[in-house]
Amino acid sequence: MKSDERVALVRTEGIGRRYGGLQAVADFSFDIFPEEILGLIGPNGAGKSTTFNLISGFVKPTSGRLFFEGKDVTGSSPTRISRMGLVRTFQHGSLMKSLTVRDNIVVGVLGAVGLLHTRSVQNKVVDAARMLGLEQYLDEVSGNLSHGIQRLISIAIAYAASPKVLCLDEPLTGLNQTEATETLNLLRHIRDNQKCAILLVEHNMKAVMQLCERIVVLHHGQMLAMGTPSQIRSNPAVITAYLGEKHARS
């Protein structure tokens, strides 16, 4: 089956967001397919966070439509979208630092799937902690743990909600090389185990190229390119607009 014949989990059709005179995202159409790892990249201010906010319902589009599993969810609340299965993390972390790791993950489970039997909540918490290697920290106060562990807690909170699409906003920020490599391996493992799609916004270009099967490049709020990592790496427009500058630094 060709990629464009698959049924998309998420589809945007000409989605856009205007802030006064500024068009942050314009006429942007893309799909997220089941079980794929898709990267969304672009220079600062390209519109990545706005796109994340649009597909997770935190920002309403000023144009275009959003579909989840074929259903029109344009304008739906973040709660409705997360309960349908699109769960996200936030650039600056999703956890409450004064809560234990366990309680943070409980909040994630309840927020995404509503009231559950206590035993199923605890099962989901333990499963998420195990998946992210956090079992020994479950009763620690989250704010006392290292930055790397806090990043994993944010992913565990999202994972515990059993996502169909896991959207990660810069999960590698502030991690050293070893931590970043471990996190990449974990993300692959999560995709294989949970059978979810992953949408990754990340400035660490080496990691994006290693992990993602398909990459969408945004520039000035519009799609500049879409393709496999090797297609993106060799795309002249991308090199000019973005990668040339980034590769020179990596």
Ligand X SMILES: Nc1ncnc2c1ncn2[C@@H]1O[C@H](COP(=O)(O)OP(=O)(O)OP(=O)(O)O)[C@@H](O)[C@H]1O
Report the interface residues with ligand X, using CB under 6 A: 19, 22, 24, 42, 44-50
Q: Which is nearer to ligand X, 24 or 95 (CB)?
A: 24
* CA–CA separation, 203 and 53 (whole Å): 17
- The dihedral through the CA atoms of 210, 9, 34, 183 has a sign that is positive
The distance in angstroms from the start CA to the end CA of the chain is 36
Q: Which is nearer to ligand X, 44 or 118 (CB)?
A: 44
Sign of the torsion angle spanned by Cα atoms 47, 48, 54, 57:
negative
Measured between alpha carbons, how far is 95 from 127 in angstroms, rounded to an integer? 18
Q: How far is the CB of 25 from ligand X (least distance, A)?
A: 7
Task: State the nearest-atom distance from the C-beta of 170 to ligand X, in Å.
Answer: 8
Which C-beta is closer to ligand X: that of 50 or that of 104? Answer: 50
> Is the C-alpha dihedral spanning 3, 38, 186, 79 positive or negative?
negative
Phi/psi of residue 224, nearest 5 degrees: -95, -35
> Which amino acid type is present at position 150?
Q
Q: How far is the CB of 19 from ligand X (least distance, A)?
A: 3
Closest approach of Cβ 45 to ligand X, in Å? 4
Distance CA 13, CA 63 (A): 9
Which CB sits closer to ligand X, 40 or 134? 40
Q: How far is the CB of 147 from ligand X (least distance, A)?
A: 19
User: What is the closest distance, in whole angstroms, from the C-beta atom of residue 198 to ligand X in the complex?
Assistant: 18
Residue 175 or residue 201: which is nearer to ligand X going by CB? 201
For ligand X, which is the closer residue by CB, 46 or 238?
A: 46
- The distance of closest approach from Cβ of residue 66 to ligand X in the complex, given in angstroms and rounded to an integer, is 16
- Toward ligand X, which CB reaches closer, 1 or 22? 22
- Tell me the one-letter amino acid at 151: R
Residues 6 or more apart whose CB falls under 8 angstroms from that of 15 comprise 25, 27, 28, 29, 51, 54, 61, 63, 64, 65, 66
Say how far apart CA 96 and CA 105 lie, in whole Å: 10
- The structure tokens listed for 223 are 């799609």
